[in-house]
Structure 1
Amino acid sequence: MDLRQHGYAKAEDGTSLAYQRNGTGRPLVLLAGQANNHTWWDRARADFSGSTITMDYRGTGASDKPDLPYSTKGFADDVIAVLDELRIDQADVYGTSMGGRVAQWLAVSHPHRVRRLVLGCTSPGGKHGIERTNEVRRALARTDSRDVLADMMYTPAWRAENPGPYQVLGDPGMPPHAARGHLVASNSHDAWDVLPRITAPTLILHGADDVLTPAANVPLLAHRIQQARTHIFPGARHAYFDECRPLASTLVEEFFAMP
């Protein structure tokens, strides 16, 4: 039996949002990083039991790409449009990188829709968040930025054994205005003041050697979110969820299995 379901939801402004649902059982929303589509989760998706739901953010994949302002709060509203289309009242949510920022707004603005929350390699944003250094920004601006980004995602040893292709280096089909919109959305994120409003049990995961979103953000998030648990993967970089499989996925599965 084919347990895959692909379709489209409509955002409040009419934007068409592509989604992908796999399997049956307890729903789990997986949220990708900035300027990436659902393929971000290709390697890890099968690690999770139940029904996994991914989506192409507006501006990526098969979703519409309006030339309008984007925001992490707006992306969270788009997630709700997908859940409404699928008639899912409540789901577990696992967001990584910018997806973790979107997940924060999802849990704040729609608390009754989030049963349990996992935030991976992410930040509260704003003046309180610990951002990447100017050196890292300059490196990402180089002409060989995809190779640079791959090195920031994975350790050299892991890349030597896993030569790719990698699905976490950005959606190559994004138009320039959408790529800029995603960058602005992620850089403008600031949930510091509202994080204490998160009521869903929360697990925070991070790679210790992440330079894209430094691990110093973990205690900041944990301090602001009630009774949050944390786990840091020694030596891991931004894509800990890929390189540190199956441990990372097992920790998430165990967390979601709790009553």
Structure 2
Amino acid sequence: MFGTSDRRAARARAQDGTVLAYQCEGTGRPLVLLAGQANNHHWWDGVRADFHPTHTTITVDYRGSGDSDKPDEHYSTRDFADDVIAVLDHLDISRADVYGTSMGGRVAQWLAIRHPDRVGRLVLGCTSPGGPKAVERDASARRELARADASAVRESLLSMMFNPEWLASNPGPHTVLGDSEMPGYARRRHLVASNEHNAWEALERIEAPTLVLHGDADRLTPCANVPLLESRIPNVRSQVFPGARHAYFQECRPEASTVVAEFLAD
């Protein structure tokens, strides 16, 4: 067994010396939870306890977010994956299950590709392979998120994350709308890292059994990316949640958490 029942926060150092904040909670096998773009570990607050009967959850504040250092330099999903390895090394964990959503799913792809011996089972949620083969959000969604009015952008993002019925009974606070304390340059660095991701050619090197999850009403990362990932990853299965948007893991809880828990237990 690994970990403690109470959440504890600590710090590791990346290879370049960047300080990386991470948080551990639960007991059992290690499960790395990777958040979306420009978010910190609070992305997982609504569901991480669902995995504690069998796993210790480990979240990482990406460089640029949360309590990690925020260097003003180029970021990439490969860099973020290497940072996760630095945290696992600091914890003396040789192998972990990995669950990444949105940009975290892109980071998780590189973890499994570049460090196959470190990843047990892999879950990719509401994500894409990146590059020219990926299906990007449509022009209307891009326009909504590019508006100058911050409150209007927040409302659009909230609508893209959750369907109205779910929001009506879950008024918040919502922890998946971005790290409000990130400096502007770090937000831009995260956006570039996510946009530049392209693992298409390398996905066939993933050795870990993989589960792909998505909501079929996702405007941020269209569900059409599911068959693309399935076509490239050798040992893969998928499940799509009808009517769910980008934050399917909250909208469809407990079904989504149960699906993940059962996959990790196989």
Q: Partner of 1:36: helix, strand, or coil?
A: coil
Instruction: With the length of structure 1 as denominator, give the TM-score of the two structures.
Output: 0.98
- What code does the residue aligned with 1:233 have? F
- Map 1:62-211 onto structure 2 (within 5 A): 62-142=67-147, 143=149, 144-211=152-219
2:3 corresponds to 1:4: no
Residue 6 of structure 1: how far off its partner (Å): 1.0
* Equivalent in the alignment of 1:46: 49
* Equivalent in the alignment of 1:28: 31
Q: Partner of 2:192: helix, strand, or coil?
A: helix
User: Equivalent of 1:15, from 15, 18, 35?
Assistant: 18
Q: Is the 8 A contact 2:211 2:236 kept in 1?
A: yes
Q: Is the 8 A contact 2:35 2:103 kept in 1?
A: yes
Residue 207 of structure 1: how far off its partner (Å): 0.2
> CA–CA distance in 1 between the matches of 2:162 and 2:135?
20
What percentage of aligned pairs have identical amino acids? 66
- What code does the residue aligned with 1:34 have? Q
> CA–CA distance in 2 between the matches of 1:236 and 1:25?
30
Range 71-80 or range 1-10, more displaced:
1-10
Q: Is the 8 A contact 1:3 1:24 kept in 2?
A: no
Q: Is the 8 A contact 1:32 1:98 kept in 2?
A: yes
* Equivalent in the alignment of 2:62: 57
Q: Partner of 1:87: helix, strand, or coil?
A: coil
Q: CA RMSD in A?
A: 0.8
Report how many residues are paired: 258
Name segments (4+ residues, structure 1) moved above 3 Å: none
Residue 58 of structure 1: how far off its partner (Å): 0.5
Instruction: With the length of structure 2 as denominator, give the TM-score of the two structures.
Output: 0.96
Q: Partner of 2:66: helix, strand, or coil?
A: coil
Structure 1 stretches of 5 or more lacking a match? Answer: none
Range 42-51 or range 199-208, more displaced:
42-51
* Equivalent in the alignment of 1:253: 261
Residue 227 of structure 1: how far off its partner (Å): 2.4
Q: Partner of 1:126: helix, strand, or coil?
A: coil
Q: Is the 8 A contact 2:5 2:27 kept in 1?
A: no
Q: Partner of 1:119: helix, strand, or coil?
A: strand
- Deviation track 1:95-154 (CA, whole Å, cap 9, x = no partner) reads 000000000000000000000000000000000000011110100122110111000000
- What code does the residue aligned with 1:125 have? G
Residue 2 of structure 1: how far off its partner (Å): 5.5
Q: Partner of 1:18: helix, strand, or coil?
A: strand
- What code does the residue aligned with 2:90 have? E
Q: Is the 8 A contact 2:207 2:235 kept in 1?
A: no
